[in-house]
Amino acid sequence: MIAILSALAEEQTGLVECMTRVECVEHAGRTFWLGHLDGQEVVLTLSRIGKVAAALTATALIAKWGVQRMVFTGVAGGTGPGVAVGDVVVGSHYLQHDMDASPLFPRYEIPLTGQSLFPANPLLLEAACAAVREVQSDLRGGRYRADLHCGLIASGDRFVSASSEVHALLAAAAASGFHPLAVEMEGAAVAQVCADYQVPFVAIRTISDRADDAAHTDFPQFVRETASVYALAIVRKMLRL
């Protein structure tokens, strides 16, 4: 079974309606939709926002339903050069930008794992990128260019909404050799849980804002008007590949 996870309802709108043989289960304060989508057995749910909420949801998906693959779909703030609103970032690696147990452990390292970066599963990564490429021309029919970027996604319990904050975050990450293309608030937490359980994982993030001084207005507008169009097109294409 494949888990399809998003933080917010707007990032998953339309997917439940496309499912067949749907069963709805309440667990841990969340609604889990089990059924079939494009010939695959799936479970859909919303993590809500932040690393703890996302880690809890990923754990429930694995421990209660034994999901064999996990795909996160949602939005992110673009931080890499040329990563524009309406582009898509598929995470090849995930970093927790607010992890700092120094001087006990190196900045960004998840204590007692020896790792700062958690990689995406190579097959899911390739499938996600292929799906984005296949729907790109449809998405380009809208207002955005829908360019695909594949690279590092940084997660933290902070909505980044100032240019000064982005610059500080990027400078600190660069000092440790990391160059995130996008920031969000869940992906790296799910990647860590999936690594512990050895469940293949990938996150696909559409850029809703540039994490700058306009982020607080760009984000809600994009989430309201566009996020679900991308999620629906990319996830359904990925399931069909």
Q: For residue 232, which phi and psi values (nearest 5 degrees)?
A: -60, -50
What is the C-alpha R_g of the chain?
Answer: 17
Q: Which of 45, 92, 208, 228 binds ligand ADE (CB under 6 A)?
A: 208
Q: Which of 54, 90, 215, 234 binds ligand ADE (CB under 6 A)?
A: 215
Which span sits near ligand ADE by CB under 6 A: 19-27, 84-92, 182-190, 228-236? 182-190
C-alpha to C-alpha distance for 8 and 27, rounded to whole angstroms: 17
Catalytic residue chosen out of the listed positions 10, 11, 184, 218:
11
C-alpha to C-alpha distance for 207 and 218, rounded to whole angstroms: 10
Minimum CB–partner distance for residue 112 and ligand ADE (Å): 26
For the segment 72-101, give every residue that binds ligand ADE (CB under 6 A).
Answer: 75-77
Minimum CB–partner distance for residue 148 and ligand ADE (Å): 18
Catalytic residue chosen out of the listed positions 10, 209, 212, 218:
209
Q: How many angstroms from the chain centroid is the CA of residue 2?
A: 15
Q: With contacts defined by CB under 6 A, how many residues of the chain interact with ligand ADE?
A: 14
* Farthest CA pair distance, the chain: 52
- Judge whether 138 counts as a catalytic residue: no
Q: Which of 230, 184, 207 is nearest to 53 (CA)?
A: 184
Q: According to the binding rule CB under 6 A, does residue 188 interact with ligand ADE?
A: no
How buried is 229 (Cβ within 10 angstroms: 0-12 exposed, 13-18 middle, 19+ buried)? middle
For the segment 122-161, give every residue that binds ligand ADE (CB under 6 A).
Answer: 159-161
C-alpha to C-alpha distance for 181 and 120, rounded to whole angstroms: 15
Q: According to the binding rule CB under 6 A, does residue 183 interact with ligand ADE?
A: yes
Task: Supply 66's token pair.
Answer: 């034994």
Minimum CB–partner distance for residue 114 and ligand ADE (Å): 27
The residues of the shown chain that bind ligand ADE, judged by CB under 6 A, are 75-77, 159-161, 183-185, 208-209, 211, 215, 219
Residues taking part in catalysis: 11, 209
